[in-house]
């Protein structure tokens, strides 16, 4: 909601450093990415330009070339740590390049959605360089809008969310929030403070989450390895945090696999969901979200998924 409000405000009123409301503007969207980011853009009439997501963040050569020459490109979506859906972690170099790159738009914004900032699956905790500080050092302090929430820390639908940015951006946001809300749910904020106490309290809590969900990721990895290792029918990510595994099947096989799985009782994220306008040009990507089912349910679901995906891919290869 905070991200939606921030962009709605930009479209309605503009942002500091710009010359008015964002009309006829574009956003860069690393793909595969988060469907709800893309839905916000689509809803607000912001045209989306896909850029490839690599292991250490978006393809920065492509990003830098695009933002340097087109002033209608006003921003980029980023999930810097354990990205949705690939689990990629942005490297320091990627952070520095995003913070310092030359943008034709003076009011360019990086939507830094740190949704998985403390959501580690292993003891090997990734750290991402502070982009706000890097942007300030490069003279671009107003470029970054950072968002976090406790949806997947305390309670989905009952968490708290936060935004951090330069004083100029926060003042701008507060000025607009004045009209949309009397104030936040302070009792819920207090509940969170009393429960977690401090950063160490959050970290200790996330270890317990990892104990619950890491075995589920292990089920997914084991099933995919058993079904596809040594074949060229599928490749998949091995995230060290976050909530998803991103699977790439042979081209042209994702939609059919999702459809057949649904018929067999296994509901997956819609094919194409991780791409702007729901359009996966190669129809190959499927996002697996293994956190909710029990280990037993997940084992059965993965059996259905792997069998189905293999069948669809083999048929495609044979055609």
Ligand X SMILES: Cc1ncc(COP(=O)(O)O)c(C=O)c1O
Identity of the residue, 84 or 94, whose beta carbon is nearer to ligand X in the bound complex: 84
Binding mask 246-285 for ligand X (x = CB under 6 A): ----------------------------------------
| 161 binding ligand X? (CB under 6 A) | yes
| 291 binding ligand X? (CB under 6 A) | no
- DSSP state letters, 221-255: HHHHHHHHTTSSSEEE---SBSS-EEEEESTT-HH
Residue 172 Cβ vs ligand X, minimum distance, rounded to whole Å: 21
Identity of the residue, 40 or 302, whose beta carbon is nearer to ligand X in the bound complex: 40
How far CA 10 is from CA of 100, 142, 233, 250, in Å, comes to 22, 14, 43, 40
Which three-class secondary structure state does DSSP give residue 257? helix
Binding mask 108-137 for ligand X (x = CB under 6 A): -----x-x----------------------
| 245 binding ligand X? (CB under 6 A) | no
d(CA 21, CA 195): 41
Pairing mode, strands 161-165 and 144-149: antiparallel
Residue with tokens 């194409």, as numbered in its chain? 272
Residue 264 Cβ vs ligand X, minimum distance, rounded to whole Å: 25
Q: What residues contact 227, with CB distance under 8 A and at least 6 apart?
A: 234, 306, 307, 309, 310
Residue 310 Cβ vs ligand X, minimum distance, rounded to whole Å: 28
Which of residues 15, 28, 29, 79 is near ligand X by CB under 6 A?
A: 79
Residue 160 Cβ vs ligand X, minimum distance, rounded to whole Å: 9
Give the rounded distance of the alpha carbon of 240 from its chain centre: 15
| 188 binding ligand X? (CB under 6 A) | no
Nearest by Cα to 27 from 91, 88, 95, 113: 113
d(CA 165, CA 133): 10
> Prior bond to 246 cis, omega within 30?
no
> Do residues 56 and 94 make contact, with C-beta atoms less than 8 angstroms apart?
yes
Residue 115 Cβ vs ligand X, minimum distance, rounded to whole Å: 3
Tokens of 89: 């972690």
Q: How many residues bind ligand X (CB under 6 A)?
A: 8
Q: What residues contact 97, with CB distance under 8 A and at least 6 apart?
A: 60, 63, 64
Identity of the residue, 130 or 151, whose beta carbon is nearer to ligand X in the bound complex: 151
Which of residues 10, 25, 26, 34 is near ligand X by CB under 6 A?
A: 34
| 84 binding ligand X? (CB under 6 A) | yes
Which of residues 151, 154, 164, 307 is near ligand X by CB under 6 A?
A: 151
Identity of the residue, 78 or 261, whose beta carbon is nearer to ligand X in the bound complex: 78
Residue 227 Cβ vs ligand X, minimum distance, rounded to whole Å: 26
Identity of the residue, 57 or 141, whose beta carbon is nearer to ligand X in the bound complex: 57
Identity of the residue, 162 or 262, whose beta carbon is nearer to ligand X in the bound complex: 162
> Do residues 305 and 288 make contact, with C-beta atoms less than 8 angstroms apart?
yes
> Do residues 38 and 71 make contact, with C-beta atoms less than 8 angstroms apart?
no
d(CA 61, CA 275): 20
Residue 147 Cβ vs ligand X, minimum distance, rounded to whole Å: 7
Instruction: Give the binding site for ligand X (CB under 6 A).
Output: 34, 79, 84, 113, 115, 149, 151, 161
């Amino acid at each position: 909601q905070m991200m939606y409000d921030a962009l709605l405000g930009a479209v309605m009123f503009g942002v500091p450093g710009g010359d008015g409301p964002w009309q006829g503007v574009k956003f860069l969207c690393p793909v595969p990415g988060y469907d709800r980011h893309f839905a916000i853009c689509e809803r607000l009439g912001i045209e989306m330009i896909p850029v490839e997501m690599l292991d250490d963040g978006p393809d920065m050569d492509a990003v830098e070339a695009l933002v340097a020459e087109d002033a209608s490109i006003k921003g980029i979506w980023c999930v810097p740590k354990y990205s949705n859906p690939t689990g990629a972690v942005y490297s320091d170099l990627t952070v520095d390049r995003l913070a310092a790159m030359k943008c034709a738009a003076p009011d360019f914004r990086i939507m830094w959605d740190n949704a998985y900032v403390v959501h580690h699956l292993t003891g090997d905790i990734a750290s991402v360089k502070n982009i706000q500080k890097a942007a300030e050092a490069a003279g671009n302090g107003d470029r970054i809008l950072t968002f976090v929430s406790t949806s997947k820390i305390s309670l989905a639908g009952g968490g708290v969310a936060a935004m951090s940015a330069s004083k100029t951006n926060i003042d701008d946001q507060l000025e607009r929030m004045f009209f949309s809300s009397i104030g936040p749910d302070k009792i819920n904020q207090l509940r969170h403070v009393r429960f977690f106490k401090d950063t160490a309290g959050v970290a200790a809590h996330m270890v317990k989450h990892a104990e619950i969900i890491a075995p589920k990721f292990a089920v997914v990895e084991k099933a995919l390895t058993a079904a596809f290792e040594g074949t060229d029918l599928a490749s998949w990510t091995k995230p060290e945090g976050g909530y998803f595994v991103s699977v790439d099947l042979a081209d042209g096989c994702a939609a059919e696999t999702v459809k057949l799985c649904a018929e067999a009782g296994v509901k997956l994220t819609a094919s194409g969901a991780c791409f702007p306008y729901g359009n996966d040009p190669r129809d190959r990507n499927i996002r697996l979200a293994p956190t909710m089912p029990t280990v037993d349910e997940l084992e059965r679901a993965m059996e259905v998924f792997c069998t189905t995906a293999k069948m669809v891919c083999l048929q495609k290869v044979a055609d």
